[in-house]
Homo-oligomer: A and B are copies of this chain.
Amino acid sequence: MTKKVGVTDTTLRDAHQSLWATRMRTEDMLPIVSKLDEVGYHSMEVWGGATFDVCMRYLKEDPWERLRLLNEYIQNTPLQMLLRAQNVVGYKHYPDDVVRKFVQKAEENGIDIFRIFDALNDVRNMRTALEAVKETEAHAQATVVYTVSPVHTIEHYVETAVTLQEMGADSICIKDMAGLLKPYRAYDLVTAIKEEVDLPIQIHSHYIGGLAISTYLKAIEAGADVVDTATASLAFGSSQPPVETITAIFSETEYDNKFDLDSLFDIDRYFEQVRRERGFERGVTRITDMQTFSHQVPGGMISNLVSQLEDQNSLDRIHDVLNEIPKVREELGYPPLVTPTSQVVGVQAVFNVLLEERYKVIPDEVKSYIRGYYGRPPAEIDPEIKELAIGDEEPITCRPADLLDPMLDNIKDEVEHYAEKEEDYLSYALFPQVGLKFLKERKQEKDIFGVDDEDKEVKEEEEEMNLGEI
């Protein structure tokens, strides 16, 4: 039995989402994807997360067209996407019919592996997505979000992983979005899950404070099967660890992935050039990133808090807010500090500090969280805070999406005039304003410039890009 480590490349999704505000364009990707395809990656994460929204909102690109093109050019490597479970690729719960249709269409257009996560590790929020994937040929990877709290014990993660296996997951991902997973903790965690769960385990860490490379090393020693990396110029900082270093560490060991380093350097040189042309910074570990080691607040969340406080001319209160966050988090039942629950905790902590009285104001998203509309909190919410927020009202105990009506049948009329394909209805269902604006503008352009010519130009451009030396 070989212990060869599988490696996923996140350069085309998480890496540029983390470092370039998700602004990599399809035209930046196509000239290099054949080379990436030859490396021997376990999979390439190329779609989902924020890319869907950003494609339409800022890049004026059809996300479905990107996927179709990537699937055309990437022949050997399975394509992977990040699916926010019931949130799909958006920021709220969608009805089941949208989730199901989205999964079906994503698979049809080329997704081979769906990585499904819920911010609260509420498996009820993951059920529809998991079932939908199981109805296709694709691989369903279920995710546990890693965080640090008294209730997020190793037993908690093992139990969650066992449940996800029972629900049909084909593999388990440990998602360490805040770079909090320490090497020896990773070793214990992977060992414990491996004892109870008979599925491949993949580790997804962000570099942040510098733990991730060592964390992968210990996780792999404990039997982890796949780790997530990015090309060096899009690695480090808030992104994934670099594939080159991981390859070097395990070369000539029993875990050797046998990647060709010179080929990785060619790929890296290409992206470094794109980075310079697009004017993005390299990933760097800042002091605020290191501070997660003491108060567990992710660096990205600190940046958000800093700009919120600056707006209020209250940046001098940042340390008070950082001290308030663990208290609020405890009172709200220890939600992981990941979107959207990081926002819930952060906004309440800012109010508590700036108004000089705790819970004097409780914003709508906090009330909504307490009412159960995000899912089940990891631990009980402090009864006093619950009373302050929603009085006698009882939180919902069902799955939040159970309260949502099917959507797709009701939006036909609004989109029909602009839609070219079934997928366009999903784009609209997920992002009504942004989606409709995108579809309208696309139609306008085609009406003016003509469909055939434009199609021809695009085709020629693709061929040109693919022939270019890299």
A interface residues, Cβ below 8 angstroms from B: 182-184, 209-211, 213-214, 217-218, 232-233, 236, 241-242, 244-245, 247-249, 251, 253, 261-262, 264-265, 268-269, 272, 282, 284-287, 290-291, 293-294
Contacts and interface: CB of A to CB of B under 8 A. Distances in A.
A233 B182 contact: no
A245 B210 CA distance: 6
A245 B241 CA distance: 15
Given A184-B253, A210-B213, A248-B293, 4 more contacts: A210-B244, A232-B286, A261-B293, A265-B294
Contacts of A264: 290
A250 to B, nearest CB: 8
Contacts of A247: 293
Contacts of A232: 285-287, 290
Contacts of A285: 232, 236, 242
A231 to B, nearest CB: 9
Number of copies: 2
B287 A268 contact: yes
A269 B287 contact: yes
A136 to B, nearest CB: 37
A184 B251 CA distance: 10
A248 B209 contact: yes
10 contacts: A182-B248, A182-B251, A210-B244, A214-B249, A233-B287, A242-B290, A261-B293, A268-B287, A268-B290, A284-B284
Contacts of A261: 293-294
Given A213-B210, A242-B210, A183 B294 contact: no
Nearest to A266: B287
A183 B287 contact: no
Contacts of A287: 232-233, 265, 268-269, 272
Contacts of A249: 182-184, 211, 214
A294 B245 contact: no
A240 to B, nearest CB: 12
A241 B286 CA distance: 13
A217 B210 CA distance: 13
A247 B269 CA distance: 34
Nearest to A269: B287
Nearest to A268: B287
Contacts of A294: 261-262, 265
Contact of A293 (B213, B244, B253, B269): B244
A169 B265 CA distance: 41
A76 to B, nearest CB: 23
A301 to B, nearest CB: 17
